[in-house]
Chain A
Amino acid sequence: MGVSVQPLIDFVTSPITIAYVVLIFIVFFSLQISAAVLVLAERKVAAFAQQRLGPYRVGWWGVLQPLADILKLLFKEELRPKAADFWLFYLAPVISATTAFAAFVVIPFGPPTDLFGLLPEPINLQGMDVNVAVLIVFAITSMGVYGIVLAGWASNSKYSLLGGLRSSAQMLSYELSYGLALASAIVLGNSLSLREIVDGQSATMLGGLIPSGWFLWPSFFGFVIYMIAGVAETNRAPFDFPEAEQELVAGYHTEYSSMSFALFFLAEYINMVTVSALATNLFLGGWHWPFPLAWGWPFGVVNWLLKVAFLLFFYIWMRWTLPRYRYDQLMSFGWKWLLPAAVVNVILVAAGVVYFS
């Protein structure tokens, strides 16, 4: 077959492809750095909420504390219970971490840009622009349940099994409300593509002072339900019974140590970032406010980061303020209150969209 390989080489070495590859690396490393930053932020916010100082010895204001934590985790001994199923035991943290990172491939974090003229045409600040982006994130997060289920089972210990089963049952129950809250934003945005949903929220009033286009306003309860379901999905804050220290030792990751535990830890923080990032894109307008985009594309990215940081602070704040739900209270709340509320919210939002257009 006399097909030349030149077009392939041109594609691989074109500046657009290289830009996307670099972008993917940047997103990957930023996620890891954000997990490290979150470790420090959590301890600092917890400390200030409890009127103490938190980590302040390692580096000025405790900035090097995440580095110290990572070094400690790397040098710990890697233990495995003898009765644990070898493949499943090591597959579980891999699944957790992989799905946590993979969900970020379709989340956009800035307006299309040509990098100050370096590139011949603008690229999306997004790993991949597909028109079913919201569903892809939902699918990948629902695969994350397996990490927990398998961790609970493979550890072959009663705390892990109970923690794993309860945790995955909780995640599955809150996934329904999560999906319905997503649906209300999809109905408002009239598309499943995250980029189009964000661009539909760019309307402002009073010359850019009031963000009137945000889907937060028409679907306020959708946002509230989304955040509650997101917090329950990531097993955090008032919904962390399955991994609470006082109840179940450490739940599904009791038997893990060193790198496997680090992977679970990482997965939990990155899931938090994913929920916050999706909330900014779906309800808080993404990269459109406060700094106007006319000032340049980096301001769009800064807008986005500010909103995500605010939501993450809210996450951490909730953890150290609210008491924990008991497991049956948690499940009853998810099925009997949150799910009907999410359904009613979707119906009302859809009716509103039809009525006002």
Chain B
Amino acid sequence: MISLDAILFYLFGAVTVASSLAVVTQRNPMHSVLFLIGSFLALAGLYINLDSPFTAVTQIIVYAGAIMVLFLFVVMLLNAPREDVASPYGPAYVTLTTGPRRAFALLSVVLVAELVLAMRQFVSASQPSGPDAAAHVSSVRQIGIAIFTDYSLAFEATSVLILVAMVGAVVLAKKRL
């Protein structure tokens, strides 16, 4: 019998990959954003499968609930047109004939080779993750303690970063300073 963990992994994994492929291949940016939201929801399911409910919920609140709404606003504000099929660079998006595409083809071969090598090396050294190792890890209390003690500098720096980003976004998008 196949375990619930495996069923959920393959199900959510398939949805994530399919949605991400749809993001990259859809012509209407509005549909791309919606597929990305679907991908994020499936990723949240994967996080729950990995005993990380806090990360899953934060993913939905921050990514799917806020960042993607920002994307939607910009798409609606700019009335982002469907990508022109008759662009000067050829009929479809996957012609490997010009500069960026050649670079992509080469880099993708290198990336895949690297990933395969890295995973082969890791497979020999890995052990299956024990359920008891993750039993007391996932509590929000532990995460809170870690953020505010070990990672407090990163926390403060991130808050300054957000402030700077807010001010920067407002300034950049203003019509007249």
A, B assembled together:
yes
Residues of A within 8 A of B (CB): 1, 3, 5, 85, 88, 130-132, 135-136, 138-140, 142-143, 145-146, 149-150, 153, 161, 165, 168-169, 172, 192
8 Å CB contact of B139 from A5, A131, A138? A131
Bound-state CA distance A44–B88 (Å) is 64
In the complex, per-residue mask of B22-56: 1 if CB is within 8 Å of any chain A CB, else 0: 00000000100010010000000000000001100
Query: Could you write out 18 A-B pairs with CB less than 8 Å apart?
Result: A1-B1, A3-B1, A5-B1, A85-B30, A130-B53, A131-B53, A135-B58, A135-B61, A136-B57, A138-B61, A142-B65, A143-B65, A145-B65, A146-B72, A153-B30, A161-B76, A172-B66, A192-B140
Bound-state CA distance A1–B140 (Å) is 38
Answer whether residue B73 sits at the interface, using C-beta atoms and an 8 A cutoff.
yes
CB distance from B88 to the nearest CB of A (A): 28
Bound-state CA distance A168–B139 (Å) is 32
Nearest CB in chain A to that of B73: its residue = A165
Chain B, interface size: which category?
A: 10 to 19
Decide: A139 and B60 in contact? CB cutoff 8 A.
yes
CB distance from A335 to the nearest CB of B (A): 11
CB distance from B150 to the nearest CB of A (A): 21
In the complex, per-residue mask of B60-77: 1 if CB is within 8 Å of any chain A CB, else 0: 110011100100110010
Decide: B69 and A168 in contact? CB cutoff 8 A.
yes
Decide: B76 and A165 in contact? CB cutoff 8 A.
yes
Residues of B within 8 A of A (CB): 1, 30, 34, 37, 53-54, 57-58, 60-61, 64-66, 69, 72-73, 76, 139-140
Decide: B53 and A143 in contact? CB cutoff 8 A.
no
Interface of chain A: mostly helix, strand, loop or mixed: helix
8 Å CB contact of B30 from A88, A130, A140, A192? A88
8 Å CB contact of B76 from A130, A138, A146, A153? A153
Which residues in A have their C-beta under 8 angstroms from that of B139? 131
Which residues in B have their C-beta under 8 angstroms from that of A139? 57, 60-61, 65
Bound-state CA distance A132–B57 (Å) is 8
A143 and B57 in contact, given A131-B139, A192-B140 (Cβ under 8 angstroms): no
A146 and B37 in contact, given A132-B53, A132-B57 (Cβ under 8 angstroms): yes
CB distance from A98 to the nearest CB of B (A): 12
Bound-state CA distance A130–B48 (Å) is 12
Which residues in B have their C-beta under 8 angstroms from that of A168? 69, 73
Decide: A135 and B30 in contact? CB cutoff 8 A.
no
Nearest CB in chain A to that of B54: its residue = A132
Known A135-B58, A136-B57, A149-B69; further 15 A-B contacts with Cβ < 8 A: A3-B1, A5-B1, A131-B139, A135-B57, A135-B61, A139-B60, A142-B60, A142-B66, A145-B65, A146-B37, A149-B76, A150-B34, A161-B76, A172-B69, A192-B140
Bound-state CA distance A200–B58 (Å) is 25
CB distance from A91 to the nearest CB of B (A): 8
3 tightest CB-CB pairs across the interface, nearest first? A142-B65, A139-B60, A135-B57
Which residues in B have their C-beta under 8 angstroms from that of A130? 53
CB distance from A126 to the nearest CB of B (A): 16
Bound-state CA distance A266–B124 (Å) is 55
Which residues in A have their C-beta under 8 angstroms from that of B73? 149, 165, 168-169
Bound-state CA distance A135–B58 (Å) is 8
